[in-house]
Amino acid sequence: MKLFTKYNRINLVVMVIIFLLSSCTYYFILNYVLNKELNEDMKVIQYKIQLYAATYHQLPTRSKNIDDEQISYTLTNQKDIPQRFEVAKEYDSHKGKNTSFKRLIFGLQAGDNQYIVSINKSTESTDRLLRIIAFITIGTILMIIISSLLINRVVLRKLWLPFYEAMAIIKDFKIGKKQALIFPKTTTEEFVFMNNNLQQTTLKAESDYLLLREFTENASHEIQTPLAIVRSKLDILIQDEQLTEQQSKTLLSAYAGIRKLSQLNQSLLLLTKIDNEQFTDIMPVNLLEKIQEKTEQFHELWLANNIRTTFQLENACINANNELIDILLNNLLSNASKHNTPNGSIHIQLQPQSLVISNTGPDHSLNHFRLFKRFYKEEQHSNNNGLGLSIVKQICETSGITVVYQFTEGRHSFCFSW
């Protein structure tokens, strides 16, 4: 629910309640005042009749009747009739409907006769007045609701425009793009405050991110030289003919360690470089040729590991960075070979707009959510750094390729489409 709809709802409810309360109060006060007035009027008439009867010892003449009030006299034997007011309804043949009356009844001594006098006065006009008040109240409430809805639609949309524009800009914001956020100018204090804060926060995030990236790059580079020294020392050391078998094994472990470290380093550097968008050289890459070249490279490895391969290759071309596509295919084919089962198989299907690489492997699906995360490992396999697939993902993102992982009938497939 929109902020203003919420606000409006509360506002309207309160306003309707206040209006109802005030109009009720108004109604009761007015009713009370008019009633009192009516009673006074009738009392004045009563007084006049009583005065007349006391003076002339007879009833006033009928001609005294005025339109509005009707006075009737009834002979009675009763004495001491209490004075009382009552409300009555009577059929008015003129108007053809029931009309309300206020009636004052009292006893009257005129000469020797005892009468019951009843003064009837129509309350029609009072009722009409009250009805009009009710109509006006309801009308006002309706008008307030309609006008606030209209204001919401027209004026508020305009007032909130800077907010929605700022949100659209923030939505497009991607860290590491090195683009300054430019918010539309606004004079609303809250939006100025919001925009300033957003600007500062994103600038800070951006600079922190750049620092971190620079740090990763520098750290990776700095590690390369010591690694080169260690590896070269090992290369010298193994020339010694006096080495025992045990020592050789130790040295081999050291080699493996250096290799892992160096690969990890290069993977991190690569990720940073893709983030930095340093692979800007986009050109059409012939995927068919690329894949044929790769399968030739992997041929011996597959042969040695008894991995059967089947290919279904059509001509396909993609607009991307050549080096990245190379890395992508290397990573995928390495994975398909490494995580395969003994006597397993690899199938590559290339179509003009898609590439599917599927292989036999572990008998369960990989974790879809964490698969492409950095340092994700299905098991703590010693030979993987867990960066291969996150590099694949990153390359796909920068090259506009969609990648989907599937596990069906014991085969792990990576499907790419562009």
Partner 1 sequence: MKILVVEDEKSLSESICSYLSNENFICETAYDFHTAAEKIHLYEYACIVLDITLPHGNGLQLLKSLRNNNKNEGVLVISARNALNDKVLGLNMGADDYLTKPFHLPELSARIAAIIRRKSFDSNNIISLGNLILNIDDKTVRGENNKSIDLTRKEYELLVYFISNKNRVITKEAIVEHLWGDDITMADSYDFIYTHIKNLRKKLVQGGCPDYIKAVYGMGYKFSAHS
C-alpha separations of 216 from 49, 67, 220 in Å = 111, 103, 6
Pick one of 72, 137, 262, 309: the residue that binds partner 1 (CB under 8 A): 262
Which part of the chain contacts partner 1 (CB under 8 A), choosing from 12-20, 79-87, 88-96, 297-305? 297-305
- Tell me how long the chain is: 418
50 binds partner 1 (CB under 8 A): no
Distance CA 17, CA 277 (A): 62
Distance CA 273, CA 174 (A): 16
User: Which runs of E-coded beta strand occur in 44-96?
Assistant: 69-75, 84-92
Distance CA 171, CA 165 (A): 10
Pick one of 140, 232, 353, 402: the residue that binds partner 1 (CB under 8 A): 232
Pick one of 29, 205, 252, 404: the residue that binds partner 1 (CB under 8 A): 252
Question: At its nearest, how many Å lie between partner 1 and the CB of residue 302?
Answer: 9
Which part of the chain contacts partner 1 (CB under 8 A), choosing from 7-15, 121-129, 249-257, 341-349? 249-257
Of 175, 279, 179, 275, which Cα lies nearest the Cα of 220? 275
Distance CA 35, CA 243 (A): 123
Pick one of 15, 81, 251, 282: the residue that binds partner 1 (CB under 8 A): 251
379 binds partner 1 (CB under 8 A): no
Which part of the chain contacts partner 1 (CB under 8 A), choosing from 30-38, 86-94, 198-206, 233-241? 233-241
219 binds partner 1 (CB under 8 A): no
Pick one of 271, 320, 325, 327: the residue that binds partner 1 (CB under 8 A): 327
Which part of the chain contacts partner 1 (CB under 8 A), choosing from 20-28, 35-43, 309-317, 331-339? 331-339
Question: At its nearest, how many Å lie between partner 1 and the CB of residue 276?
Answer: 11
Q: Give the strands of the sheet with 402-408, arranged side by side.
A: 308-313, 345-351, 354-360, 411-417, 402-408
Of 368, 362, 308, which Cα lies nearest the Cα of 339? 362
Distance CA 198, CA 183 (A): 9
Q: In DSSP terms, which residues pair with 122 in a beta bridge?
A: 101
- Number of other residues whose CB lies within 10 A of the CB of residue 149: 13
Which part of the chain contacts partner 1 (CB under 8 A), choosing from 97-105, 150-158, 206-214, 238-246? 238-246
C-alpha separations of 318 from 289, 305, 312 in Å = 12, 31, 18
263 binds partner 1 (CB under 8 A): yes
In terms of CB distance, is 123 or 335 closer to partner 1? Answer: 335
Q: In DSSP terms, which residues pair with 304 in a beta bridge?
A: none
- Output b/e per residue, 76-96; b: 16+ Cβ within 10 A: eeeeeeeeeeeeeeeeeeeee
Which residue type sits at 183? F
Pick one of 388, 393, 401, 414: the residue that binds partner 1 (CB under 8 A): 388
249 binds partner 1 (CB under 8 A): yes
Pick one of 26, 326, 407, 411: the residue that binds partner 1 (CB under 8 A): 326
Which part of the chain contacts partner 1 (CB under 8 A), choosing from 160-168, 169-177, 187-195, 239-247? 239-247
Question: At its nearest, how many Å lie between partner 1 and the CB of residue 179?
Answer: 23
Of 205, 213, 160, 202, which Cα lies nearest the Cα of 184? 160
258 binds partner 1 (CB under 8 A): yes
Question: At its nearest, how many Å lie between partner 1 and the CB of residue 222?
Answer: 8
Pick one of 229, 253, 314, 368: the residue that binds partner 1 (CB under 8 A): 229
Distance CA 230, CA 260 (A): 13
- Number of other residues whose CB lies within 10 A of the CB of residue 68: 11
Which part of the chain contacts partner 1 (CB under 8 A), choosing from 36-44, 143-151, 363-371, 382-390? 382-390
Q: Residues in the site for partner 1, rule: CB under 8 A?
A: 221-222, 224-225, 227-233, 235-236, 238-239, 243, 245, 248-249, 251-252, 255-256, 258-259, 262-263, 266, 269, 273, 278, 297-298, 300-301, 303-305, 323, 326-327, 330, 333-334, 337-338, 382-383, 388
